[in-house]
Amino acid sequence: MSVQDAATPGPDGHPAVAAYKAVLREVLGKRPSGMRRRLAEALERNPSFVSQIANPAYPTPIPVAHVETILEICHFSAAERARFLAAYEEAHPRRARRPAEARRHRTLALRLPDFEDAKKNKVMDDMIHDLVARIAKLVED
């Protein structure tokens, strides 16, 4: 069963919108409890907005400007990213753009201290990812 089959759109919703929202809901369900709050902060929206964009029953589409931030903050796997973007492009063929192809990026490798504690290391990694996402957003605005 595909994600699109599992996603039930609301009365005014498009099945492909429900499909990419179902992928987002699935990804958020696998992440720690604070992920929705961090995503809301990164998008500069209320947590209720994240609930709406992650619920296939709501027809509210995800704005294309938020796609890259969502993919970065939620740490989509390669397979999840591909499924999400395929459904997004199907739902919005004229608006959709592959975020990674639309902008040029460069990679910077950092040497960080190892706290010898997986939770602390994860917190530091998340903080750095969030900081870089916010800096990128400033550059784009």
Whether residue 10 is contained in a domain is answered as: yes
The pTM is what? 0.61
DSSP 8-state symbol, 44: T
Which residue segment(s) compose the domain that 81 sits in? 3-100
The answer to whether residue 88 sits within a structural domain is yes
Tens-place pLDDT, residues 68-83? 999 989 999 999 999 9
113 is a domain residue:
no
- 128 within some domain: no
Residue 49 within any structural domain of the chain:
yes
CATH code for position 15: 1.10.260
CA distances from 56 to 15, 60, 75, 128, 134 (A): 9, 9, 20, 30, 27
110 within some domain: no
Residue pair 62/20 in contact (Cβ under 8 Å)? The answer is: yes
In a domain, 22, yes or no: yes
Per residue in 86-125, pLDDT tens? 999 999 887 755 554 555 666 677 889 999 999 999 999 8
Question: Residue 11's pLDDT band (boundaries 50, 70, 90)?
Answer: very low
Task: Report d(CA 66, CA 91) in Å as an integer.
Answer: 15
pLDDT at 3: 45
